[in-house]
């Protein structure tokens, strides 16, 4: 049986990627999952989008207001200590109500984040 290699990371040692004026992030990826620290400044808008990846969003600091669904009729505010599970292909949009540190987990990893082809986030 093949021995697989483990890897450890320290968030403080990892460079932050500036995605937009109000959003930066750090990524850890494995074969089947991605873990991200996403730093959103108050007022940052994540435009409506969807993806095949299942997403778990855990807010460590701050708060995000989400609009869920194609019609954006479902709304939820996720605050520090709370978790939102977003199934595959469910449209969603978010706004940072205050400076926020969000931990996102994706399965499978977001290839558009790895390749930096996530243009919906990179708009000014």
What local confidence, expressed as pLDDT, does residue 4 receive?
A: 85
Structural domain includes residue 1: no
Structural domain includes residue 15: no
Residues linked to residue 45 through DSSP beta bridges, in sequence order: 95
Number of domains in the chain: 1
The contacts found for 69-77 with CB under 8 angstroms, 24 or more apart, are: 72/48
Enclosing domain of residue 55: 22-122
What local confidence, expressed as pLDDT, does residue 123 receive?
A: 76
Structural domain includes residue 17: no
What local confidence, expressed as pLDDT, does residue 10 receive?
A: 97
Token pair 């807010």: residue = 59
The DSSP secondary structure of 48-90, one letter per residue, reads: EE--SSEEEEEEEESEEEEEESTT--EEEEEETT-EEEE-TT-
Gap between the terminal Cα atoms of the chain: 49
Token pair 């460590």: residue = 60
Structural domain includes residue 85: yes
What local confidence, expressed as pLDDT, does residue 124 receive?
A: 60
- The Cα–Cα gap between 37 and 101 comes to 7
Structural domain includes residue 8: no
* Low-confidence residues of the chain: pLDDT under 50: none
What local confidence, expressed as pLDDT, does residue 1 receive?
A: 72
Residues 51/83, Cβ–Cβ less than 8 Å:
no
Instruction: Supply the CATH number for residue 117's domain.
Output: 2.60.120.10
- The Cα–Cα gap between 110 and 116 comes to 10
């Amino acid at each position: 049986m093949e021995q697989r290699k483990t890897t450890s990371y320290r968030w403080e040692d990892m460079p932050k990627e500036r995605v937009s004026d109000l959003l930066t992030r750090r990524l850890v990826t494995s074969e089947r999952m991605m873990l991200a620290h996403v730093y959103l400044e108050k007022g940052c808008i994540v435009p409506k989008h969807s993806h095949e990846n299942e997403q778990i969003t855990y807010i460590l600091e701050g708060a995000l207001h989400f609009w869920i669904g194609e019609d954006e009729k479902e709304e939820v505010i996720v605050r520090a200590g709370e978790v939102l599970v977003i199934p595959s292909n469910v449209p969603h949009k978010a706004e940072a109500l205050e400076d926020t540190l969000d931990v996102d987990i994706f399965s499978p990893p977001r290839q558009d984040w790895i390749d930096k082809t996530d243009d919906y986030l990179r708009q000014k």
